[in-house]
Amino acid sequence: MKKIILIGRPNVGKSSLFNRLARQRIAITSDVSGTTRDTNKAEITIDDKSCILIDSGGLDESNELFKNVKIKTLSEAKNADIIVFMVDGKMLPDDIDKKFFYELSSLNKPIALCVNKVDSKKDEERSWEFNEFGAKTVFNLSVSHNIGTDELCAWIYNFLPKETLKADTSEFDEFLDDFDEKGEIDIQKPAVDYETKNINVGIIGRVNVGKSSLLNALVKENRSVVSTIEGTTIDPVNESFVYEDRVFEFVDTAGIRKRGKIEGIERFALNRTEKILENSDIALLVLDASQPLTELDERIAGIAAKFELGVIIVLNKWDKDHDEFDKVVYELRDKFKFLAYAPVVSVSALGGKRIHKIYPLILEVYKNYTQKIKTSRLNEVLQDAISCHPIPRDHGKIVKIFYGAQFGFAPPKIALVMNKPRSLHFSYKRYLLNKLRESFELNGTPVVLIPKNRGSNDEENNEN
């Protein structure tokens, strides 16, 4: 597995980027120079490829301890496959940074210069000064605002080896067998009657954002205990509610804290929350609109994405003017890029304001989440997308999509039957997903898009 090392002088944001790419808080971050002294490692996934990410100690020679850290860091760099060299965009380039960058460049490994902390137009103008490094690959980052990390990941992705697709395609394999027998494309019938089953809705969020108040407002009774004490809800509280002849099964889950603050019985509550989400169709992600968004909010949003649920973002405790809504939604979209498909609604659970907007949204998201997409229309959209922006070749070889077909539901799962499925870059998959969202009603639902060979004797299947 390829190793990617984050390297640079102290306090340039290496540990923050490490935590961002690992999607969890592993490395300790602080404003104190030299906080990281040993290396941290984590296996991460960039789209469908895995790699080892390494957070190194800062390159410093100010005392004996830091000199030893520097020696260890440079040794790790020599054993790494890809180098991400970080500098502080709030500062002007200096000779020490240049010296280390040139030393690392001489290792003849893929190396990118990342100018971090580019948080404003002024910072962006200053970042041009770093062109004097002569780096071929440069990224401006604002790790704290999650800006530029997608571009960095796309660059790293190109140097990672192809892997066997890990996605569970057993449903598709059955579909393909059926296709081979019939000689025609048809959408597989869902095993569940989605038109009559109860709609399971999990209410999630960090502690004290108003999940219990929201449940009480939704079912129109005081079903869940509410207090200002954080962590009041430990056991899941569920209640049914009928709306337009459909049964909603709401479950108020325990609030999630930062990992280091979870104690005793709350550990069991967290496990139960995840079990509830495994059996849910839709997650109501509750955020406290009276407070700034936190990294923990982002992590909890990631849990909803992990279980491939339909998602509605609920801004609770909303007391701002209507004009502020677009501004807050813009910030949400920037922080939760992976939930760009989720609709946002502002409410005041305690006052019961705008709660009525959630019910039709649940029905809409559920309909999209469980829908059957007509195969002929699906392929029209795919062909139009490919005509407008052809699939990039793989080392000169043509990459073709023969057809697309839906093979699963809740969420919609679409197979792209291809000649070289592993050659479909994740950025092109993202382009196709955007085109599908433009053409079909997919508000609130993720879409699983899986490139797949037809048959087991193809050249791709025989590759090691």
- Detail the residues annotated as belonging to a binding site for GTP: 8-15, 55-59, 116-119, 205-212, 252-256, 316-319
Q: Which residues have a Cβ under 8 Å from the Cβ of 325 and sit 6 or more positions away?
A: 346
Q: Cβ of 259: how many Cβ atoms within 10 Å? A: 12
Identify residue 330 by its one-letter amino acid code: Y
Q: String of b and e for 341-350 (b: at least 16 CB within 10 Å)?
A: bbbbbbbbbe
Residue 328 one-letter amino acid? V
Please tell me the total number of residues recorded for the chain in this structure. Answer: 464
Contact between residue 9 and residue 60 where contact means Cβ atoms under 8 Å apart: yes
Q: Determine the Cα–Cα distance for residues 348 and 319; give it in Å rounded to an integer.
A: 8
User: Using CA atoms, how far apart are residues 28 and 246, in angstroms rounded to an integer?
Assistant: 47
Phi, psi of 6 (to 5 degrees): -95, 120
Instruction: Give 23: exposed, middle or buried? Use CB within 10 Å, 0-12, 13-18, 19+.
Output: middle
Report how far residue 137's alpha carbon sits from residue 82's, in angstroms, rounded to the nearest whole number: 12
Neighbours of 410 (CB within 10 A): 17
In the block, which residue shows the tokens 């054993």? 79
Query: In what side-by-side order are the strands of the sheet with 49-55?
Result: 40-46, 49-55, 3-8, 82-88, 111-116, 138-140
- Annotated binding-site residue numbers: 8-15, 55-59, 116-119, 205-212, 252-256, 316-319
Cβ neighbours of 97 (radius 10 Å): 22
